[in-house]
Amino acid sequence: MKDFKEIFKGVIFCLLIAVPSFFLGDIAPVVGGAVFSILIGIIVGAVFKQKKEEYRIGINFVSKKVLQYAVILLGFGLNLQVVLSVGKESLPIIVSTIATSLLISYFMCKWMHIPEKISVLVGVGSSICGGSAIAATAPVIDADNDEIAQAISVIFLFNVIAALIFPTLGDIIGLTNKGFAIFAGTAVNDTSSVTAAASSWDNIHNTGTAVLDSATIVKLTRTLAIIPITFFLSLYYSKKKSKGSSSHKLSLKSLVPSFIIYFILCSLLTTIVELLISNGTITGSLASTIPLFFSFMKKVSKFFIIMAMGAIGLNTDIIKLIKTGGKPLFMGFCCWIGIIGVSLLIQNLTGIM
């Protein structure tokens, strides 16, 4: 009972940060609610140090468990059939950009002696889907709060730059509407910034929501990479632990975290149910209610990520974050430039531009 009360107090504390951050994210989507939540969490944690320690159990619950729940609910935003059928044309570019970012982060980790977990988070966040990919990967590699905050900060900076300059850059290069949709969907890290960049292009070129719709599908296709990446990382870190400890044995649970399995199941459920609606098997009020439920779950997922980022902000050592920020920032820049170059190169080679 005591633990429940401690958890409850910490959850309420994090909610007080998450609610304003959620609305601020809607007002300024280029920044996003997750970044606002981390920043507010860092400030509140610095000002109310005693309260933060008093609510430590609940804050840790939010930063770990609620973050996993958020990843599970992300599955309700993934109709695998639609994503694969519409996004398959961009798949070679997506695979190439993801591989580029991961390779750059790997070699820079070795070359510049950047902590491995920060390198993984920056590489995955840059190549897949920003904050969501970091949220999915962090529990798998057992990253601490400072490492998560560091990676989110790096991704945020290049999100904002991309959203601001990509429409102009696309015009300078001479991208078509289709080319810019793929460019934005593959070379912008976070969904909110993909939306901002694609919407700006639509407004400039009077294309309605055509580019936004296409860029969103490309972005969702990238999101699918969470599944193989987290599985590989689970395998790698489980083997690493088993070598370092005779008591640690490989098991299905250690190889595939339960929250990733639930994420996949939610994606499959969404795919099957929406297929049944589209072919007329599910009709009537149920056919209109289920998509609303899925949409609501996506919003809950977004809110949970924001809430978890607030908890991570509360636990972040701002002095350490500033002192160690230079190398991860440079790594993020290199990953970003690599992704941009590969996305445009392959588009040029395949004639999509």
Q: Which pLDDT tens digit goes with each residue over 208-250?
A: 878 888 888 888 888 888 888 888 888 887 777 666 555 555 4
CB-based contacts of 145: which residues, under 8 Å, 6+ apart?
A: 63, 311, 312, 315, 316
Nearest to 309 by CA among 98, 131, 55: 131
What sign for the dihedral angle of Cα 106, 108, 112, 118?
negative
Question: Over 70: is that where the pLDDT of 2 sits?
Answer: no
* Banded model confidence at residue 256, pLDDT cuts 50, 70, 90: low
Residues 182, 22: Cα–Cα separation, whole Å: 28
Hey, what are 18's tokens? Answer: 């998450």
Report the helix count and the strand count for the chain, using DSSP H and E: 19, 0
Give tens-digit pLDDT for 135-158: 888 888 888 888 888 888 888 888
Average pLDDT, the chain: 84
DSSP label at residue 147: H
CA distances from 244 to 114, 140, 141, 144, 241 (A): 21, 17, 15, 20, 5
Assessment of whether the complete model's pTM goes beyond 0.85: no
Write b or e for each residue in 152-172: b if 16 or more Cβ atoms lie within 10 A of its Cβ, otherwise e. bbbbbebbbebbeebbebbee
**CB 137, CB 229: distance < 8 Å:** yes
* Banded model confidence at residue 253, pLDDT cuts 50, 70, 90: low
Question: Over 80: is that where the pLDDT of 116 sits?
Answer: yes
Hey, what are 353's tokens? Answer: 């531009």
**CB 137, CB 315: distance < 8 Å:** no
- pLDDT for 242 equals 67
Question: Over 90: is that where the pLDDT of 64 sits?
Answer: no
Question: Over 80: is that where the pLDDT of 25 sits?
Answer: yes
- Ramachandran region, residue 176 (left: φ > 0; alpha: ψ -120 to 50; beta: rest): beta
Give tens-digit pLDDT for 293-348: 988 998 898 899 889 888 888 887 777 777 777 888 899 999 999 999 999 998 88
